[in-house]
Amino acid sequence: MHRRVYIALFTAVFAATMGVGFIGPLLPLYARDLGAAGLSLGLIFSGFSVARFIFMPVIGRLSDRFGRKPFIVVGLALFAGFSLAYLRVDSIWSLIVVRTLHGAASGMVVPVAQAYVGDIAPKGREGRMMGTFMVSLFTAFGIGPLLGGPLADRFGLGAPFYAMGALTGVALILALLFLPELGLHKERWHKRARLSAVLRDPLVLAAVLFRTAISFGRGLVIPFLPFVAEERGASLSVIGVLLATNILLAGFMQIPFGRLADRVSKPLLMGLGIFASAAVIFSIPYCTTVPSLFVLQTATGISLALGLPAALAVTARCGDRFNGMGTVMSVFNSGMSIGLIVAPLIGGLVAERLGLDFVFKSGAMVVLAGLGVFVILISRARASGVLACLDDPEEDASAG
């Protein structure tokens, strides 16, 4: 049964996420054609994440109460509808509205699917299982731009949006037909911890901080790297390949780094991931050619993959500890939304006042500041004894 759940989730999330990847390299240019620049461009990207930030904790909590499948199915249906709504926009503000509604639908799918996987992950193998599942997200995001760019070059900017809607429809059918409801929520709901207890936990906060810092970096790269690449002479297709390089590599590296996360210190891998992310972001302005941007995107993919399986394993352990996998996983993913909300807004303001290069340099400093806060939170978790939940269960049994 668990294998069937895992395969259904992996396939549905892969199909839906590939659709999002179709428009990744094109949305900044699509928005620019409508007159977006600077702050308005930041609002378009931030709107998606604002909606996710608002809806995810609520949906995660409700999925702990009523089950996972209903929210995944409804989210995918809305996702497909809003994918086609992009084609009806005729102004910057209508694009912001559609992008925000699209984000709300997204907040009903991925975090709940991750909570589903956390429910069935065996103790001591969370890193491997969550890392393998994240391959569905990263490879889909990577393949999407590879196809989206050529689709736009060949058939116009509207083609990737139609493709996104079609793929999300496929994901919806897969979820309806093959995704069962395990009913675990009926056993755990009455044992759940309060949301306030989750939000005060230093280990949960450290995981959220990791997700925020990494996503802040991505929130700068996704909307602003296409302009850097365009200045270096890249076409739409090349920009799609450029963005796909780091995402695909990050996806493939999830499996070995997931296995590593089950064997070594998870906080250490998370801290190294934050530091590596800051380093590669800082280096972007110094890449003066398209080939050098490809080299840096390879490093970006490795830095993105380094700590994420460990962070998801930490979150899964915390979800078990609080008897609220959907709640904790949604709080964790809220960190991603925070980073993707703040980064485009700050990046847009900095680009208008100081230029594109300084967007990346100042962004790297913000990520490094996040690393300092992360270290403080891990120290508090260690002092309070919370880190004990990360111990290998087999080692605990032998010690007893």
Please choose, from the candidates 271, 371, 275, 256, the residue with its C-alpha nearest in 3D space to the C-alpha of residue 314.
271
d(CA 249, CA 252): 5
d(CA 36, CA 33): 7
250 CA to centre of own chain? 12
d(CA 192, CA 320): 10
d(CA 304, CA 350): 24
Q: What percent of the chain has pLDDT over 70?
A: 91
Range of weakest confidence among 54-58, 103-107, 240-244, 267-271 = 240-244
CB atoms within 10 A of CB 58: 13
Phi and psi at 232, nearest 5°, equal -85, 0
Domains and CATH numbers, the chain: 2-392 (1.20.1250.20)
| Contact between 316 and 116 (Cβ < 8 Å) | no
Range of weakest confidence among 80-89, 146-155, 185-194 = 185-194
**What is the structure's pLDDT at 138?**
79
**What is the structure's pLDDT at 396?**
37
**What is the structure's pLDDT at 272?**
95
Q: What is the mean pLDDT of residues 138-161?
A: 78
pTM for the structure as a whole: 0.79
Q: Taking 60 as the threshold, does the pLDDT of residue 38 lie above it?
A: yes
Q: Taking 70 as the threshold, does the pLDDT of residue 339 lie above it?
A: yes
* 227 band by pLDDT with thresholds 50, 70 and 90: confident
What tokens appear for 360 in the block? 């990346």
| Contact between 219 and 343 (Cβ < 8 Å) | yes
